Structure 1
Amino acid sequence: MRKEHEFLSKAVSMGDQSQSARLAAVEKARLADPNLDEDDRFDLLSQKLNREVRAKMAEDRAAAFAEYEKGARELLKLFPGRAEVYDMLLVAAQQKEGPQARELLDEILKAEKAGEKTKAQAAALVKKMESLGKPVDIAFEAVDGRKVDLKELKGKVVLIDFWATWCGPCVAELPNVLAAYEKLHDQGFEIVGISFDQSKEALTKFVAEKKMPWPQYFDGEGWANKYGKEFGINSIPAMWLVDKKGNLRDLNARAGLADKVRKLLDE
């Protein structure tokens, strides 16, 4: 039954929804087995949660992540000794803003069972949150030769887009970013790309094909990217908004990007 579950799970994750009912039945049967060990039970429940959340993501991203946090907390009750649950709560915290995010991060930092890597990532996120309301120091020569300095963009609203051409969610988000740029650029909206690519050729080719007119930072270091390390970026896409005074205002600009930009432009 394990092999059948693995096959069905892979099929559904690849988009074959015709196997969903059979997968649910196999999962139910496996979870009903009193001899199922803790690791397998946890894996089954966490995979089920991930699958359900992914299915809801396209409809309502915020509601999907709220459901994810709720599911993670249910897993925490069932498996209080599992460090992986705190990894899940960290993912949920990354989608929150302000006091709600800080409260969840503090919970992770205080948890005895949370892994050291998870705590380090939570601490880095707290540090980023403490940067809100302060200037962002970014200056570089873009891949196309343009000089970029955020200090010189005061009076503009700037999106700092940490991304890569190999990042599926980054590419999926691009139409929304392009649409916001096309609508609001003439009103004072700018974008600065921070690429985590390791191939300059791949980056320049992608930017040209997708007609992305904003400047791109590139150093070829991948996850060791200069600004990625400096700002504690451990997952992408990450989108920050800087206001017209040059201060960081939003660490999670993906949701409702155009509306957030309009609000800052109106200040």
Structure 2
Amino acid sequence: MALGLAALSGGAAFAAGPTAEQALKLQPIQPDVEFQRPGAEQIAQCTIAAEKIGNATGWVVTGANGERLRVFLDTNDDKKVDQWSYFKDGVEVYRDVDSDFNGKADQYRWLGMAGTRWGVDVDEDGKIDGWKMISAEEVSSELVEAAKTGDVDRFLSLIPTQEELKSLGLTGQRAKDITDKVANSEEAFVAWARAQKAIDKSTNWVHFGATRPGIVPAGTEGVSQDLIVYENAIAVLETDGQHGQVELGTLVRIGDTWRLIGAPSGSAGSADVATAPQGSFFSVSYNGASSAVPGNVGMGAEMQQLLDQLEKIDQQMAQATSPQQREQLAMQRIDVIKKVIGAAKDPEMRENWIKQLADALSGGIQTGELTQGIGQLQALADDIEKQVPKSDLAAYVRFREMSAAYTQQFTDPKADYTKIQEAWLGKLEGFIDTYPKSADAAEAMMQLAIAHEFAGEEEDAKKWYARIRSDFSGSTLGDKAEGAIRRLDAVGKPYVLRGTTVDGKKLDTSTLKGKVVLIQYWATWCEPCIEDMKTIRELQAKYGARGFQPVGVSLDSGEAEVRQFLTANRLPWPQLYEDGGLDSPYALDMGVLTLPTMILIGKDGTVISRGLHISQLDDELGKLIK
């Protein structure tokens, strides 16, 4: 591993420059990565060149068709590679990261369509010790992989740490029960892994199965804050052509990760898995026939054959190299999903597969993968509205049809953007009238509010924000709408920002009265934000001694990226960060919708501007600081 990483990280190698062939020999540290691997004949057509990407420099390997294959970056200008990125179809799917710049990777990230996993390797031995980000679906897959070899450490990385357990805010007997279950999970996993016979090294994870996640509200016995959980979830697996399943039990969301509460129970592959509800928070029976991705050993032969076809198509799509191949396979997949819907006997199972069909069509159209399909999606939406009018399912399908049709119109080079936008806003209002309480109605209202705000129609925007706040109180969008109203009404009112900086210091802007404070909301992926920092640095040098104090608020999705950026770009002003990205507490508090966003606070602590452009900052400071 070390030699593979060092091949492009040594100072001499970096200066001399590797060949494309040498660069393509490097492999991801983690084994389960699907990335583009050119054949021997194709390698000769690949090129490698030194490039500057943002504030980093490094080597970019390009394929014969101009698509990126690898990017190896030096992000801290020490002439050594500390970020190794691997691509598929021109999209980054995986990244090894050396965040402490010692020549060894200590973080591993799956990106793009490869998923959301973000692993941390504390001792830099190539094995993941914990997760900064992982979905419930990925937890179920990791559990199956751990069971294949009885890998206790891999299993334990899916269990909450003591700090994470404390963050759940559990009290009394509830806290004791959950803590005991977690404490006994290592012993329970070892016993279960030895006893189970259904999972071996040839077993493949197929799907995650569960009813929709539920909220355990604050005030429930032993629960002091809202918790989002899955109860009696399962992992559907396949061994030698036969489908089985493993009962996962309870999963709870903690920040950007999902965690297992204890070891699996029951016999892996058993047909009666999860038929006896035993939830940690509430009982939900799941028998594999009522999830978004159903499957169990008791299913009919027709259904199992269809699921096998889907698996095969998914594998083929992962290997497809041309847009034509991907579209052909995507249409085949859609045809099979339609057959699954026809074969589904359980109403909830059928509904979830209909949602999958709508998602597959809408997603493919919006990404451009499907040049055809809008007609099928419109027909599906019309059909569902006739079958179950004004239902949640009808709203779900219709909103995705609307979104796909809206996006597709912009591919026409002769498109009249003004007319398209006007029609879209009308459709959103019509959708809200028809489905006012559906989950997608909140998103429709938010899009209307944003459109009005960006058009300068702030009173209309506030009406929609207020309705979201009222109709969807307690939801993320409800909180964001409340913050947006606060931001729009902020000028002339006091505003205080409090938190702990990235370097562990307490920050309270109320202690900065007498200074002009600039709050810059930014992210490492926002190039204009990074450019703005150069001007802020210059203006701090000009006005800092006379009372100008910038404060940064990162809205990145991961703290490691923020720390890595700040290590490479030393900024002489405090930086705040909390998990959640554009849904983090800082973003929600002021309803920050786009980046960059900057708020200027006067010496008396009241807001002077809540939408300042960087080009205006010097003039504003000149007026405020004499």
Q: How high is the TM-score relative to the length of structure 1?
A: 0.62
The AA in structure 1 aligned to 2:444 is V
Residues 33 and 236 (structure 1), Cα distance of their counterparts in 2 relative to 1, 3 Å cut: closer
Partner of residue 56, structure 1: none
Structure 1 or 2: larger helix share?
1
Does structure 2 retain, via aligned residues, the 8 Å contact 1:193–1:214? Answer: yes
Partner of residue 216, structure 1: 575
Partner of residue 57, structure 1: none
CA shift, 1:89, in A, is: 1.2
Cα-to-partner distance string for 1:242-262 (whole Å, 9 max, x where unaligned): 134331123333xx3231452
Partner of residue 204, structure 1: 563
Structure 2: distance between partners of 1:86 and 1:198: 24
Does structure 2 retain, via aligned residues, the 8 Å contact 1:243–1:264? Answer: no
CA shift, 1:181, in A, is: 0.9
What are the residue-to-residue correspondences of 1:126-205 with 2, within 5 Å?
126-139=485-498, 142-144=501-503, 148-154=507-513, 156-165=515-524, 168=525, 171-185=526-540, 186-188=542-544, 189-196=548-555, 201-205=560-564
CA shift, 1:207, in A, is: 0.9
What are the residue-to-residue correspondences of 1:6-155 with 2, within 5 Å?
7=364, 9-11=366-368, 23=371, 26=372, 30=374, 35=379, 37-38=381-382, 39=398, 41-48=401-408, 70-76=422-428, 79=431, 80-81=433-434, 83=441, 84-93=443-452, 95=454, 100-110=457-467, 117=475, 118-139=477-498, 142-144=501-503, 148-154=507-513
Structure 2: distance between partners of 1:48 and 1:174: 30
Cα-to-partner distance string for 1:54-112 (whole Å, 9 max, x where unaligned): xxxxxxxxxx9x88963542323664425243131133355466xx323322145358x
Report the identity percentage. Answer: 20
- RMSD value, Cα: 4.4
Does structure 2 retain, via aligned residues, the 8 Å contact 1:68–1:92? Answer: no
The AA in structure 1 aligned to 2:494 is P
Residues 191 and 101 (structure 1), Cα distance of their counterparts in 2 relative to 1, 3 Å cut: same
Residues 8 and 251 (structure 1), Cα distance of their counterparts in 2 relative to 1, 3 Å cut: same
CA shift, 1:234, in A, is: 6.1
Structure 2: distance between partners of 1:179 and 1:68: 38
Structure 2: distance between partners of 1:87 and 1:173: 24
The AA in structure 1 aligned to 2:620 is K
- Tell me, what secondary structure is at the counterpart of 1:213? coil
The AA in structure 1 aligned to 2:487 is K
Structure 2: distance between partners of 1:119 and 1:227: 15
Cα-to-partner distance string for 1:188-234 (whole Å, 9 max, x where unaligned): 5432012356865543321121333321124x5546866556x2546
The AA in structure 2 aligned to 1:174 is C
Residues 119 and 222 (structure 1), Cα distance of their counterparts in 2 relative to 1, 3 Å cut: closer
Relative contact order higher in (CA < 8 Å, ≥ 6 apart):
1
Structure 1: distance between partners of 2:587 and 2:600: 16
Structure 1: distance between partners of 2:404 and 2:539: 45
Residues 151 and 212 (structure 1), Cα distance of their counterparts in 2 relative to 1, 3 Å cut: same
Residues 68 and 163 (structure 1), Cα distance of their counterparts in 2 relative to 1, 3 Å cut: farther
The AA in structure 2 aligned to 1:47 is T
CA shift, 1:160, in A, is: 1.1
Cα-to-partner distance string for 1:147-191 (whole Å, 9 max, x where unaligned): 6443454454322123444xx3xx323233223213422135432
Residues 76 and 212 (structure 1), Cα distance of their counterparts in 2 relative to 1, 3 Å cut: same
Does structure 2 retain, via aligned residues, the 8 Å contact 1:31–1:41? Answer: no
Count of paired positions: 231
Partner of residue 259, structure 1: 616
Structure 2: distance between partners of 1:77 and 1:145: 46
The AA in structure 1 aligned to 2:486 is K
Partner of residue 600, structure 2: 241
The AA in structure 2 aligned to 1:179 is K
Does structure 2 retain, via aligned residues, the 8 Å contact 1:181–1:190? Answer: no
Structure 1: distance between partners of 2:615 and 2:515: 14
Does structure 2 retain, via aligned residues, the 8 Å contact 1:139–1:149? Answer: yes
- Tell me, what secondary structure is at the counterpart of 1:266? helix
